Structure 1
Amino acid sequence: MLKTLILICLVTFAATTSSHAQIVALGASNTAGYGVGASAAFPAVLQDLLRAKGRPMSVSNAGISGDTTGGMLSRLSSIAPDGTKIVILQSGGNDRRKGVSEAEAAANRSEIRKRLHARGIRIIEADSYVWSALRSGLRQPDGIHLTAEGHRKVAQQLAASIR
């Protein structure tokens, strides 16, 4: 009887944990939520939207203000643990601002993609969503960071691309 109960618990636990896909948002200040706070940043809003749709996915925010593609590459293995299903990549513009050549930035992005693909992790590129929101005026007075509404728009677009 005890063995049967333990087996039932293990099967239930395995079924429960496998239904919770892990998503990691990797990026710089817009991912981190600069100026609006982490709870209003698109990773948190995305998690709320997915859960409201009955998709119990956890979204981890691995955004660091001022980060470059080199920094993202160096911490990639620590921010995408086993079980990560999707990485949302928002590399932003800090490379250019910090004097990193376009060739080096492109090589870093390529290596990030290569490592994630090797692990079977789906990549969603978020830069176009962020730039679209910024171009539509959903930006803070500095012109480079999203407003709370901009984050919501990005999260809605990301949610539509997650099946």
Structure 2
Amino acid sequence: MKFLKTRQMAYSMINGLLLLLTVWGCGSSGTKTESKLASESANATSAAAKTAAPSTKQTVLFYGNSLTAGYGVEPTQAFPALIGKKIDSVGLNYSVVNAGLSGETTAGGKSRIGWVMRKPVAVFVLELGGNDGLRGLPLAATRQNLQAIIDTVRLKSPQATIVLAGMQIPPNMGTSYTREFRGLFKELADKNKLVLIPFLLEGVGGIPKLNQPDGIHPTPAGHKIVANTVWNVLQPLLK
């Protein structure tokens, strides 16, 4: 009997010790889990706050066709992205948005400008019309469409500086059409008091080694030259 009683007491002590260890273990694990969750929650809150924080940078928006979109090259090699790097390198408080669309005509640009201009911009670079000229579209319509785009930008973002990129085309459509096409960009710039880039592809257009096999779209080296042309006009406007 004494042996059995002693054995029962031993079992009781062991069970009590196991129970104590179990409770202590659960309490320790719970504390660690709560601490980990609290840490993760704090990190997530911090990250969300950073994401939600509004950007103080002003926007430079490039609105154009495949030249702006960077057809045939990496997005980082297209001239708008190169302009973005130049802006960052000199510490200017602007961010670049590339709203280029390959194949875009002035009519297409007119149809989507309201959607693109949902937020205000500081500088609007308009590069459209090249596809109109290459297709021989009526120049009266090209003028009207470009004017409509300019009017919408002025309405949506009255303080924006508008930069118009001039374009030229080969004489395939005839001397008169080619000359009138070249002149319409300066006419619009003068009429609307825009900043004009006389010829976007200056030093690139018609030079085989700076263009892709189609003879129209610049290579990465060509885009660097285009970026410099744009930057010479754009930099003085950025404050």
TM-score class, shorter: 0.7 to 0.9
Per-residue deviation, 1:56:
3.4
Give, as a single letter, the amino acid of the residue that structure 2 aligns with 1:125.
L
Q: For 2:93, which of 56, 61, 67 is the aligned residue?
A: 56
- Is the counterpart of residue 134 in structure 1 residue 204 in structure 2? yes
For the 8 Å contact 1:49–1:156, the answer to whether it is kept is no
1:97-156, Cα deviation, whole Å (9 max, x unpaired): 445311101110111112212322211122344231333723222211112122122222
- Is the counterpart of residue 106 in structure 1 residue 143 in structure 2? yes
Q: For 1:115, which of 126, 146, 152 is the aligned residue?
A: 152
Q: Which runs of 5+ in 1 are unaligned?
A: 1-8
- Is the counterpart of residue 149 in structure 1 residue 149 in structure 2? no
For the 8 Å contact 2:204–2:226, the answer to whether it is kept is no
1:63-101, Cα deviation, whole Å (9 max, x unpaired): 111100011111112223323111111114211344531
Give, as a single letter, the amino acid of the residue that structure 2 aligns with 1:155.
A
TM-score normalised to the size of structure 2? 0.57
Give, as a single letter, the amino acid of the residue that structure 2 aligns with 1:132.
E
Of the structure 1 ranges 116-125 and 70-79, higher mean CA displacement relative to structure 2 is found in 116-125
1:2-40, Cα deviation, whole Å (9 max, x unpaired): xxxxxxx9xxx67xx34x110111111111101112211
What residue is the counterpart of 2:102 in the other structure?
65
- Is the counterpart of residue 81 in structure 1 residue 118 in structure 2? yes
Give, as a single letter, the amino acid of the residue that structure 2 aligns with 1:158.
V
For the 8 Å contact 1:67–1:94, the answer to whether it is kept is yes
For the 8 Å contact 2:202–2:229, the answer to whether it is kept is no
TM-score normalised to the size of structure 1? 0.80
How many residue pairs are counted as aligned between the two chains? Answer: 149
- Secondary structure of 2:202's counterpart equals helix
Q: Which runs of 5+ in 2 are unaligned?
A: 1-48, 167-197
For the 8 Å contact 2:129–2:142, the answer to whether it is kept is no
Of the structure 1 ranges 78-87 and 48-57, higher mean CA displacement relative to structure 2 is found in 78-87
| Superposition RMSD in Å | 2.1
What residue is the counterpart of 1:28 in the other structure?
65
Per chain length, whose mean CA-contact separation is higher, i.e. which structure has more relative contact order (CA < 8 Å, sep 6+)? Answer: 1
Identity of aligned residues (%): 32
For the 8 Å contact 1:134–1:145, the answer to whether it is kept is no
